[in-house]
A and B are shown apart, each in its own frame.
Chain A
Amino acid sequence: MTTEATEGKVYDVAGQDWDKLTEAVAESSEERLVINMGPQHPSTHGVLRLVLTLDGETVTEARTVIGYLHTGIEKNLEYRTWTQGVTFVTRMDYLSPIFNETTYCLGVERLLGIEDRIPDRAQAIRVLTMELTRISSHLMAICTYGMELGATTPFLYGLRDREMVLDIMEYITGLRMNMAYIRPGGVSVDLPAGAVDKIGELLKVMPGRIKDMRKLLDANPVYTRRTKDIAYLDLTGCMALGITGPVLKAAGLPWDLRKSQPYCGYETYDFDIATQTTCDVYGRYQVRVTEMEESLKLIEQALDRLTGPLKNQPVMIEDKKIGWPAQLALGPDGLGNSPDHIAHIMSSSMEALIHHFKLVTEGFRVPAGQAYVPVESPRGELGAHVVSDGGTRPYRVHFRDPSFTNLQAVPAMCEGGYIADVISAVASLDPVMGGVDR
């Protein structure tokens, strides 16, 4: 179907009618073509809309349109307690939920002034779950990426391996995604019995799986020709556009907050920062794979601590005004509960019951002020600007999501290249629209 508009002819495709479109376009004498890709396009990683101006097959102008997944999470946070906020922020960047929770909780903890009192075991569990999530997130990035370039095997391999991580997360937290597991003051519940064995199994299997992925892609002629020297963005471009994460590391700068501004005790772990100097899509892929291998090292070290010196330590701050019971047992109803705590509040202390009720329904007060504690998420620097007015609810929480900022690089990466490489470029940024639009 074609209609005339002031800017020129408008072609409309509804599916099953591409032949008509090609006929119509072939007859037209116009060279310049503006196409609208998305927001419902399988290879734009969610509801991202790209408006591309083409000259033949060359992209002369690329514009990104976002906002299709805006859910107002930041506004909603202002109407919940500080603890309930975790349940909201975890839904922003849904492929790396633990990182959203951690940066938010670190901010709240800084406002509360309890940063030094977080138990070491809680910090080690945070590191453990964050690195597990990094693996699952990078696997998703690499496998969808393979699929978007036309290879289905990496996709199937990647999803199979990611499932292992999600199973472990489900075993630990009860949920595969959006776990609300990290809480201000620690984590919501200790590792259940058997979790260590499950993670040990992953540590045995995963290195082989990553090797398989490397065998499949590293020297694959089709893959390398679609990724090498594609979507070039150098260090200057990254700095100007505020790009962080694998894109920056592939430009040669070893900037990783886990090393440069450590949190959760990362300074005590032994690992390397993955870097490449190619500034292209292939370099970003290499950074991601190397980061997965480094994450395995970190998981191993965290696991050693959790089973060794940190065994039987608390996982929630020992402050009755902030911490909820975290040493839970599985009750007959299938829910986690603390029998000791219930016995205490229900039968021995009225004051404890009142206190528990106030803490859960009203929440704790956070001294007025603002804090920003960023973490290194799989996509780059993720930070929550947390503002309190001294009340039991956040006054304002703003998430600096790396996906949002990194998407600004699309014009710089795509203009002047082929349209087929737009897919490569967007996929190499690995944007998650839930994080972009929040």
Chain B
Amino acid sequence: MSENLPEVPEQPIARTGMFGTSGSGDTSGYGGLVVRRPVPVSTPRPYGSYFDEIVDGLDHEGVERVVVDRGELTVHVAREHLLEVMQKLRDDPALRFELSLGVSGVHYPHEVGSELRAVYHLCSITHNRRVRVECATPDDDRHVPSTVSVYPTHNWHERETFDFFGIIFDGHPGLTRIEMPDDWEGHPQRKDYPLGGIPVEYRGAEIPAPDQRRSYA
């Protein structure tokens, strides 16, 4: 699996903050400490607990890396193989993740090439185990295969993730907005979408969107 690891970026990891901040009055060195382009980590074996069994049982070329953190197992899967991996996770007798707890989206705008993530939490009632499957997609080609055929419960969850992040789940039976109005523009949970986003209108006055208000910070 180690040969599947993404390459370590050649240029040094860009850091700002700690004597490198600019554009703010902060001289403490702490403000805006940002570490860009973290190297994608993969936990070395053994993972401990039942995690080794799951990864051994999964043994699929689609698995990009495995992260064990704080007692939780995360399997990063390439989107081309997502459907097969999910099918195997559900049907393989050694794995048997019958129950899916849905899809959650995360937007990492600074991780170029894998900005958007679809995160699936699966639960095996047979073995009383949990696993998290993470599938990354670049922002300029936001496509992830739909897993509704494997887990029908993903129907609404994928619609929600599409609504909030703009990830297009290919093969979804009816990918429409679910929480926001049908004619809404933009995907509100993305990091480039400001809080509030639209000005609040009152009779005779208008309150600007929060990001356009005066700031004291």
Indicate whether A and B interact: yes
Which residue, A242, A374, A404, has most C-beta atoms of chain B within 10 A? A242
Task: For A387, give the chain B residue with the smallest CB separation.
Answer: B106
Whole-angstrom CA separation of A369 from B104 in the bound complex: 15
Contacts of B107 in A (CB 8 A): 396
Whole-angstrom CA separation of A123 from B121 in the bound complex: 25
Contact A374 B181, CB 8 Å, known A76-B195, A111-B70, A242-B151: no
Contacts of B71 in A (CB 8 A): 110
A400 touches B106 (CB 8 A): no
Q: Which interface class (under 10, 10 to 19, 20 to 34, 35 or more) fits B?
A: 35 or more
Contact A372 B72, CB 8 Å, known A67-B180, A75-B195, A396-B106: yes
Whole-angstrom CA separation of A400 from B100 in the bound complex: 11
B128 touches A242 (CB 8 A): no
* Cross-interface CB contact of A67 among B99, B179, B188, cutoff 8 Å: B179
Smallest distance from the beta carbon of B111 to chain A beta carbons, Å? 11
Contacts of A371 in B (CB 8 A): 70, 72
Whole-angstrom CA separation of A79 from B189 in the bound complex: 12
Say yes or no for A219: interface residue by CB 8 A criterion.
no
Say yes or no for A260: interface residue by CB 8 A criterion.
yes
Task: For B152, give the chain A residue with the smallest CB separation.
Answer: A240
A383 touches B179 (CB 8 A): no
Contact A374 B101, CB 8 Å, known A67-B180, A113-B70: yes
A79 touches B153 (CB 8 A): no
Whole-angstrom CA separation of A260 from B179 in the bound complex: 32
* Cross-interface CB contact of A405 among B69, B74, B156, B179, cutoff 8 Å: B156
Contact A405 B102, CB 8 Å, known A240-B153, A241-B152, A242-B153: yes
B101 touches A242 (CB 8 A): yes
Say yes or no for A72: interface residue by CB 8 A criterion.
yes
B74 touches A370 (CB 8 A): yes
Contact A70 B180, CB 8 Å, known A75-B188, A255-B125: yes
Task: For B150, give the chain A residue with the smallest CB separation.
Answer: A240
Contact A242 B195, CB 8 Å, known A70-B180, A111-B70: no
Interface SS majority for chain B: mixed
* Cross-interface CB contact of B178 among A66, A110, A372, cutoff 8 Å: A66
Interface residues of A in 415-438 (CB under 8 A from B): 437-438
> Chain B 136-160, CB within 8 Å of chain A: the 1/0 string?
0000000000000001110111001
Smallest distance from the beta carbon of B182 to chain A beta carbons, Å? 9
Smallest distance from the beta carbon of B193 to chain A beta carbons, Å? 8
Interface residues of A in 235-258 (CB under 8 A from B): 239-244, 253, 255
Interface SS majority for chain A: mixed
Contact A400 B102, CB 8 Å, known A67-B179, A371-B70: yes
Say yes or no for B75: interface residue by CB 8 A criterion.
no
Contacts of A407 in B (CB 8 A): 156
Say yes or no for A398: interface residue by CB 8 A criterion.
yes
Contact A437 B101, CB 8 Å, known A110-B70, A383-B121: no
Whole-angstrom CA separation of A166 from B101 in the bound complex: 30
Task: For A404, give the chain B residue with the smallest CB separation.
Answer: B156
> Chain A 364-401, CB within 8 Å of chain B: the 1/0 string?
00000111101000000101010100000001101010
Say yes or no for B79: interface residue by CB 8 A criterion.
no
Whole-angstrom CA separation of A370 from B195 in the bound complex: 22
B121 touches A400 (CB 8 A): yes
Interface residues of B in 92-126 (CB under 8 A from A): 98-102, 104-107, 119, 121, 123, 125
Contacts of B128 in A (CB 8 A): 260-261
Whole-angstrom CA separation of A395 from B111 in the bound complex: 14
Whole-angstrom CA separation of A408 from B155 in the bound complex: 8
* Cross-interface CB contact of A253 among B102, B125, B153, cutoff 8 Å: B125
A400 touches B101 (CB 8 A): yes
* Cross-interface CB contact of A385 among B69, B119, B130, B189, cutoff 8 Å: B119
Whole-angstrom CA separation of A110 from B130 in the bound complex: 15
B152 touches A72 (CB 8 A): no
* Cross-interface CB contact of A79 among B123, B157, B195, cutoff 8 Å: B195
Interface residues of B in 67-99 (CB under 8 A from A): 69-72, 74, 98-99
Say yes or no for B132: interface residue by CB 8 A criterion.
yes
Say yes or no for A74: interface residue by CB 8 A criterion.
yes
Smallest distance from the beta carbon of B194 to chain A beta carbons, Å? 10
* Cross-interface CB contact of B98 among A239, A374, A398, cutoff 8 Å: A239
Whole-angstrom CA separation of A404 from B121 in the bound complex: 15
Contacts of A398 in B (CB 8 A): 104-106, 119
B195 touches A381 (CB 8 A): no
B156 touches A385 (CB 8 A): no
Whole-angstrom CA separation of A67 from B153 in the bound complex: 18
Whole-angstrom CA separation of A396 from B134 in the bound complex: 15
Whole-angstrom CA separation of A407 from B153 in the bound complex: 10
A437 touches B179 (CB 8 A): yes
* Cross-interface CB contact of A241 among B106, B153, B180, cutoff 8 Å: B153
Contacts of B195 in A (CB 8 A): 75-76, 78-79
* Cross-interface CB contact of A72 among B119, B121, B178, B188, cutoff 8 Å: B188
Smallest distance from the beta carbon of A317 to chain B beta carbons, Å? 17
A242 touches B99 (CB 8 A): yes
Contact A408 B106, CB 8 Å, known A67-B180, A255-B125: no
Which A residues fall within an 8 A CB radius of B?
Answer: 66-67, 70, 72, 74-76, 78-79, 110-111, 113, 239-244, 253, 255, 260-261, 369-372, 374, 381, 383, 385, 387, 395-396, 398, 400, 404-405, 407-408, 437-438
A-B contact pairs, 21 of them (CB 8 A): A67-B179, A67-B180, A70-B180, A76-B195, A239-B98, A239-B99, A240-B153, A241-B153, A242-B99, A242-B101, A244-B99, A261-B130, A370-B106, A372-B72, A372-B132, A400-B101, A404-B160, A405-B101, A405-B153, A405-B157, A408-B155
Q: Top 3 A-B pairs ranked by shortest CB distance?
A: A242-B153, A398-B104, A70-B179
